[in-house]
Structure 1
Amino acid sequence: MFEFLVTRMGFTVFAIEAPFTGAWAINDYVLTGQGEPAAALAGLRFWTWQTEEVLALIHWMRAYNTSPEHPRKLKFYGVDMQAVHQEAARVVLAYLARVDPEHAEALRVLHRTGGTGRQPRCDARRDRGATVSD
């Protein structure tokens, strides 16, 4: 199906329900040939995608991209954002450390504390839905 969409309809992106940052390694392989596609696929952490068919699709995308007949290169993206993955936080923090170290440290604190700036705490009354004043 994807081959048809690419060759007949001009599509260039394959998007899958998987972590956005987890798909970076697959996209790197598809675009540059760098990396190990099976390991990159395992990095998605979704057992449902650990199939020969998905791996074959990744290989097909890489082969397509190596041809000079195809100037518009195919890309592989994850579109799942339900969880903050360490890789995403690492990339953002590394960038901020280069361009704005003060804000990088503030973001590190927020990341460690779940976004509140305070250390997380367990409160049984809040967990049961009761209102708790700080």
Structure 2
Amino acid sequence: MNCDLKRQLTISLENRPGVLSRVAKTLAAHSVNIRGICVQDSVEQGVVRLLAEPWEEALQTLQEAGFHPVQADVVELETHSVPGALGMIAGALGAEGINIEYAYGTEPVGGASSMSIVVKVSQSERAVEVIKSFELPSE
């Protein structure tokens, strides 16, 4: 199972039309690729979590554009897209006392058999060790 530590950027935005577009276009203008995104609302604010490459360029670009990104270590893992996969992975982390604070992910388009999940956990480096040693029964 592929698993790596990544740097996530989180920004708070006004919850109104066009704001997310401004973020995406600003990053694109600096050749920053958004690899993962989670957007949620919080009354009058929106919270955007990004996995962007290169993340250092994303950080600088967002700061220069007047945003205030917050950095966090997250774990990105790629696993088989099978029923119960998330439950088994979450169970392995929980058994080691590692809390999943939040997660987001996607299943690739076109019938691919793998999916990418991003998790914010209480112990990032230990989580990587646990996940790398974990195998789903179908693997």
Q: Structure 1 length normalisation: TM-score?
A: 0.26
| Larger helix proportion of the pair | 1
**Greater relative contact order: 1 or 2 (C-alpha under 8 angstroms, separation 6 or more)?**
2
Larger radius of gyration: 1
| Larger strand proportion of the pair | 2
